[in-house]
Structure 1
Amino acid sequence: MLKEKEDEAFSFVSEVCWHYYINGMTQAEIGTALGVTRLRVNQAIQKAKALGIVKVQIESPFLPRVEQQNDLRAALGLDQVLIAPANRDQYDFHTPVGAALASFLSRHLETAGWQKIGVSWGMTLQRAITHMARQNFPDLEIISMIGGTTKGAIFNSFGIASGFAERLGASYSLLAAPIFLSEGIDREAFLGQEIFREHLAKFEQLDAAILTASDISARSYLVSSGLPSTDHAERLLQLGAIGDVVGRFLDAEGHSVTNDLDARTIGITLDTLAAIPEKILVAAGPHKVNVIRAAARHGLVTMLITDDVTADLLLATA
């Protein structure tokens, strides 16, 4: 019983610090959100400093909401779920889950033995990079799994792969191609170049993949900056697509949606992705609930990192 009380107190301190340092909430706002006084919030922050919990990032195995995590893991049929508390009044679906990914990787990479990690793109992964402490894994290689765009350089596939590598002291390999080829270009001939053959072969050797998912709306980086034309989004919706993972589109049941972009897409295939041992999907927001579930149904996820707002919605519609 004493151990349980200690664990509960430590979990409370960790959650207070998450809201204060990651979500940028005031002590009064945290007190209201958690149903405690401002004094207790202040005491928790001071205790965290005294215990060394607060450093460059918050490290605590008690941070996830264990019951909710276990319920969601069972509902989606996953190996692991990590849930970050969000600021519900000023909701940001990138920062909390990005910070949670950073915390997870900082701990997990010490023992995982990974040598090759595939990465996707997006603002959530960029937020993870900004929250990561520098480490040194010279034998680790970060590999971009999709082509890039000429826009959004900080968080497209080129920036994400190099960003993770810089923080982790690792090497990186870029898929130096557009995510969608222009019409009329022979895809087989294009990918037959030695530089692309070598890169695509690395997809079969990945130990883990770090993924994002998007719906089909202007909030999606792929839709706003990657699709060849605005007409493609409407056509995809008409075909039953509800979102994408690595530029491959899924319907609500997790089935691949065949479309005219398939032959022009440069990146990992869903079959190859599904065969990777560990697949970490980092995604949050009410607009991503359906595509998160679809990705899990397709077998593209072994671990989900999300926030409590999204977890509530996923469980409510399970």
Structure 2
Amino acid sequence: MPRELIEDSDAFITEVCWHYYVNEMTQAEIARQMNVTRLRVNQAIQRAKSLGFVKIKIESPFTQKVQLQEQLKQVLGLKRAIVGPANRAAYDYHKSVGAALAELLVERLATGEWKSLGVSWGLTLDATIQKLPSLKYPNLEVVSILGGTAKGSTLNSFGVASGFAHVLGAKFSLLAAPIYLSEGIDRDLFLSQDVLRQHIEKFKSLDAVLLTCSNVSNKSFLIEHGLPKGLTSERLISSGAIGDVLGQFLDRQGCSVSEDVDNRTVGMPLSDVMSVPEKILAAAGPHKVEVIRVACRRGLVDTLVTDDVTAELILGGDSSKLTMKDR
């Protein structure tokens, strides 16, 4: 359908506002990306204000791209897919997804169905915390489901769990352990300590989990700073690894590539994740396309939160508009 025939639609107006307020693009940048005039962008923003779409956040059922969402659901076997428009000229694969996940959390928490929320860690979840409004859910417990690292204090397990709890007005429980045990340490014995045993017991009653994933490259914080001594990205790749979920590395069939690594990982086993009622994966970026597909097809995901760039690539599209640096 020609762009000029849909410029005044609610969907068009909302996408303009998403780029303007969430992606922090200028009106000229939005006009170039959406192939319209700057005047039309300005008119859309003004009309959004008059319609009440823009308050503190963008409120519209058309925020996400419905066609992409439906295709992702069918291709990946999902219950729900949420796609946020990305800033393609200055691509950031955390910002748009973080904002979209924040909107989803506000919606789901308002139902009162969640009493216990398991959280992973990473820059995407850190970006989500920055976009959430201050809420009050004193009966909610945020539970970290993966050990942490000494680096990246705001984005590792400890910072993310406490950060969510603070903004949501909730309680939190930390998995006070490293993500990987040193070689030779008996995992079962280590986890038998009362404080850890009691924490891990909470995994069995989680109402939802927030997961992230990454590939095996220097774009992954885990690869750069979290691998145990003696384990390298080269070794993982040679074993067939294409990425990780909760520190457990998977091949193209969704199978673990290293029983040794799994046995040293301090966190929620992927087999336990599959029994959680709501499994939400927040991930975007061309480098994550393959591991997103694998995680979904393995059954680790009910709801995928991503951006339109990644959605198009998952569905077989072209990323040629992104620079090599963005990839």
TM-score (norm 2): 0.92
Give the deviation of 1:54 after TM superposition: 2.2
Distance of 2:123 and 2:243 partners within structure 1: 16
- Residue by residue over 1:104-127, the C-alpha shift from the partner in whole angstroms, topping out at 9 and shown as x without a partner, is 111221015100010000001000
- 1:232: which partner in 2? 232
Deviates more, 1:298-307 or 1:53-62: 53-62
How far off is 1:229 after superposition?
A: 3.4
Task: Specify the code of the residue in structure 2 equivalent to 1:110.
Answer: A
CA deviation digits over 1:255-283, x for unaligned, max 9? 22224222211000011001111100000
Q: Which residue of 2 aligns with 1:245?
A: 245
In the alignment, what sits opposite 1:278?
A: 278
Give the SS at the match of 1:244.
strand
Partners of 2:64 and 2:274 in 1: CA distance = 26
Q: Which residue of 2 aligns with 1:145?
A: 145
| Cα deviation 1:216-239 (Å, max 9, x = unaligned) | 111101111110237432111111
What amino acid sits opposite 1:101 in the alignment? L
Counterparts of 1:20-99 in structure 2, within 5 Å, are 20-99=20-99
Look up the match of 2:154. Answer: 154
What are the within-5 Å matches in structure 2 for residues 153-302 of structure 1? 153-229=153-229, 231-302=231-302
CA distance in 2, matches of 1:212, 1:101: 12
- Aligned-partner residue type, residue 9 of structure 1: S
Determine whether 1:306 maps to 2:306: yes
Instruction: State percent identity of aligned pairs.
Output: 55
Deviations 1:102-156 (A, max 9, x none): 1111122101510001000000100000010011111111000000000000100
Q: Check conservation: 2:241, 2:257, Cα contact below 8 A.
A: yes
CA contact (8 A) 2:33 2:89 kept: no
Q: TM-score, normalised by structure 1?
A: 0.95
RMSD: 1.6
In the alignment, the residues of structure 2 paired with residue 297 and residue 236 of structure 1 have an alpha-carbon distance, to the nearest angstrom, of 21
Q: What secondary structure does 1:215 align onto? A: coil
Q: What secondary structure is seen at the aligned counterpart in 2 of 1:142?
A: strand
CA distance in structure 2 between the aligned counterparts of 1:177 and 1:58, rounded to whole angstroms = 39
Q: Given that residues 118 and 210 in structure 2 are in contact (C-alpha distance below 8 angstroms), is that contact kept between their aligned partners in structure 1? A: yes
Q: What residue in structure 2 maps to residue 132 of structure 1?
A: 132
Q: Select between 138-147 and 110-119 the one with higher mean Cα deviation.
A: 110-119
Q: Deviations over 1:163-205 (max 9, x none)?
A: 1111111100000000001122221121111101110010010
SS at match of 1:182: coil
Equivalent pairs counted in the alignment come to: 313
Q: CA deviation at 1:52?
A: 3.0
CA distance in 1, matches of 2:59, 2:256: 38
Question: Offset of 1:8 from its aligned partner?
Answer: 7.1
Change in CA separation of 1:230 and 1:201 when aligned onto 2, cut-off 3 Å? same
Cα deviation for residue 45 of structure 1 reads 1.2
Cα distance change, pair 184–121 in 1 and its aligned pair in 2 (3 A): same
What one-letter code is carried by the residue in structure 2 that aligns with 1:297? R
CA distance in 1, matches of 2:38, 2:7: 21
Partner of 1:181: helix, strand, or coil?
Answer: coil
Contact map agreement 1:274 1:300 (CA 8 A) in 2: yes
**Whole-angstrom CA distance in 2 between matches of 1:230 and 1:83:** 38
